[in-house]
Structure 1
């Protein structure tokens, strides 16, 4: 009895407390870094947190965040999708191919989501059934979509976006952008799917070890294909929202989102080796990218220095959060 009390009263070894620090950094480092970036930028330029600037950043975050959610599913199953930006641009072109009336909005939405899902299906089939590397499969699909857009538009897309999509992409409700509300709904729905459903558990198992997934009866190929379909569909949705935000449609809407979405997901703790990560972390990574892009402009850095600083900060943020687990 005396020995039991002594054991209970014994202090926690300093080594065990130290060992927990890396785990804490891996779990919450990206959020700490985000808060620090906001505080530092605000100290340098108080206008950074003005209502207008915050609203502008949230509008920029929404389409990127939606793409990042889809990219997260793909990276979790050891893939990546370089075709998301091309899917976004194709969706924007499709949106202008109708009469530009709000009565066409439902048809435009279905056509765009269908195109995104079909692209994701093609990517998934190439990766799982033909054993094409995700890099080559999605790069090829990106080029195919780009060629189709140029063939259809002759390099100069024309037409009008329904006002409903323009409002969805650029209007606000009491300062809250509509497109951010869409992103939040998407994040909640797909967060539940990933973290609270049997399908989500299969995604993690498939990404963690595809061989084990097959041994326990999981159709790993089907799970992977569905992840690509989700990614393509969300990219198409983001393209519609971004076209409404920009207001002008060309063949390169969404340019750069393919790399930004991968960087945001990985920086937010989604492992390229698969099977580890969360939507919350990925969205935190996307937020950091938006904050950085806005911060370097707010503090008045030259363009060349902006690019260097953005790259260095991404490296620092990734090194704080994405650290290899130790045995």
Structure 2
């Protein structure tokens, strides 16, 4: 299906993904302009909510397409929805999600593998962007998926063929030019916030806050158990981050998950990965899902500049021998 709106043309594809049908929506640049970069993008939603029409997917993609970035938005498979906030309020989450975890439903690694597959597809799909100009990104839970997919693609390019599934037509193992993460869930356990951030978190209303037990419950629901991650692709924080592409990490200011995004940026730098990290002043978690928030426009301008300017993006450094 092809739709044209506000000079941005969208085309939907159903891919033969690694776990069945996988829908993606391609946002092409306006007619008469030439694309300069590509981005495979995953929306957020606690791994269990969200779709291609939410602002964090559609508004982000349309804005970037208007700035000469072809965007492939991924409709990855969601995990079962659970009301972990209600359970937390009732005091039922003392040790993870065991009290409310649904017994069945799709869990990790499905969405993680789907995002890696979508990236491989985009680089060879003749979308007007050379394979070397494609980046990978996501917001919140989608940031987790993008970060994990970047690890998969690194390992697959290094010879671990089973790390990242690719379409049959893919003859070269693709790797991203860069990775863009917005307020990502990079760690299974939230890092302890520093005093400045802790003060901002304490002032947030309950519906805008993410207590550690709630984040643990959300992450357990993604995994399908409360025993913690078993492979590095589930939660890249604290893992071996050497040999990854340059990263742009944009965090919300008043956001408990900022402790994860900023800690992950520091871990990337310590591993020798080029990284730019920004705290978007005055914003709360999910500000890319709030098009009327001035912080949303500022962040998207940062992302567009990063994707389209060779001066901002660093180099993918080799793994040490």
Q: Same fold (TM over 0.5)?
A: no
* Greater percentage in strand: 2
TM-score class, shorter-chain normalisation, is: under 0.3
> Taking structure 2 as the reference length, what is the TM-score of the superposition?
0.25
Higher CA-based Rg: 1
> Taking structure 1 as the reference length, what is the TM-score of the superposition?
0.24
* Greater percentage in helix: 1
Report which structure shows greater RCO (CA 8 Å, sep ≥6).
Answer: 1
